[in-house]
Amino acid sequence: MNQPIITKPKRINMKKLYNILIFLFSFLNNSYGQVIISQYIETNSGNWPKGIEIFNVSTNDITFSSTNKIEIYQGTNGAACSAIASASITSGTLQAGKVWVIGTTELVTYATNNGTNLAGTTVYAFNFNGDDALQLYLGGVLKDVFGTCGTDPGSSWIANGVSTANQNIRLKSGICSATTSNWSDPSLRFETVSTDPLNDMSGFGNSPDCTLPVSFISFTASKIAKINSLNWSTASEQNNTGFNIERSTNGTDFENISFVKSLSSNGNSSSRLDYSFTDINPIGLNQYYRLKQTDFDGTRKYSAIVMVRREAPTALTLTKVYPNPANSSIYINASVPTKMDLQFLIIDVAGRVVSTKNAFADVGNNGFDMTVEHLESGTYFIKAILKEQGVVATEKFIKF
């Protein structure tokens, strides 16, 4: 009797499969690449010129179709943003590094006659005004926002002379990423080309300057016990002096806490460089960090913001008193479980209070300083008291 032939399944080459998946992910990610609203024009002198320019900042061409189309959403007079069907782009190709202009006839004509990096145009009679928000979608995915949907700012969003009303504005040099966060300050991303948009449509049809002095691979922050560890890597650097480490407790107001010099001897590198920094005295419950990169000519660029989230402490503790020994001042890190008034006492070995300080502490870790230059050399105790609860924490330090 003939035996059935059993064919062994071929073993899957996992390394090959991994490489294929990486390739496909990269291809899809780039084909649905990053598109940015790179220029915007609006006039109060009539219904034209009005429009936007879209920039393909990715390294791959983007081919438009019915499923991979550009869609523009508009929010009028503080209303939620909704799609403008006639402003969609469903065919054509936006090459890497080139732009596409959507707008009124006059704007499209100007871009066609003067643009040097123009991939295509779409005529659409926009009716937006300076207080109307816009959203840019590609393939059904939100890619960029202009203003704040659902918010009426009055006549316009305006800051530092840059306005969304009656101006021709473009992306600042070096801004190479879109934002999906609503904003109210156009000057953070845009600069003014002209305050006479009726007669000056300069720039439309030309790609923005997107040469970054530093190309980041990654930037991360994580907590390790009582410290925070920051790590970042660059793929290339040009004229880079280094990075200021900036910290915030609310994600808006940042302070400089340190500087890390470029690992390249002359500030230029075409290979990967890995950096690290340890924040030994994190302040607050949640800490936000960003990097301020500075060129040799003083030009500054900021990284993305990363956050470390910590659990609220369960008791009052003095996490650090430094320097120790101290000469002129001591710095105190106090961790508190709730917002509360604190009192600090400096006590000598005889039990006498020689200095006091009242302060307000937020939840989490807080930083304070006290002057000790008037004290005689010797051993002292710093005592922290939560006034409303009578809780006390004490640490010893030496004055020299």
N-term to C-term CA, the chain: 100
CA atoms within 13 A on the CB side of 303: 29
The whole model's pTM is what? 0.53
Which domains can be identified in the chain, with CATH numbers?
26-194 (2.60.40.1260), 214-309 (2.60.40.10), 317-399 (2.60.40.1930)
Cβ atoms within 10 Å of 357's Cβ, excluding its own? 16
Q: Which of 371, 382, 390 lies closest to 348, judged by CA? A: 382
Q: What is the pLDDT of residue 7?
A: 44
Q: List all residues 6 or more positions away from 78 whose beta carbon is below 8 Å from its beta carbon.
A: 131, 150, 151, 152
Ramachandran angles phi, psi of 146, nearest 5° = -130, 105
Along the 400 residues of the chain, how does pLDDT read in single tens digits?
Answer: 444 444 444 454 544 443 444 333 333 333 334 899 999 999 987 789 999 999 998 878 999 999 999 999 999 999 999 999 999 999 999 998 899 999 999 999 999 999 999 999 999 999 999 999 999 999 999 999 999 999 999 999 999 999 999 999 999 877 877 888 899 999 999 999 999 999 999 999 999 977 667 888 889 999 998 899 999 999 888 889 999 999 998 888 899 999 999 999 888 998 999 999 999 989 888 899 999 998 887 777 888 889 999 888 888 888 889 999 999 999 998 888 888 889 999 999 999 999 999 999 888 888 899 999 999 999 999 999 986 667 788 999 999 9
Please answer whether residues 321 and 332 qualify as being in contact, where contact means their C-beta atoms are separated by less than 8 angstroms. Answer: yes
What does the pLDDT read at residue 213?
75
Hey, is 112 helix, strand or coil? Answer: helix
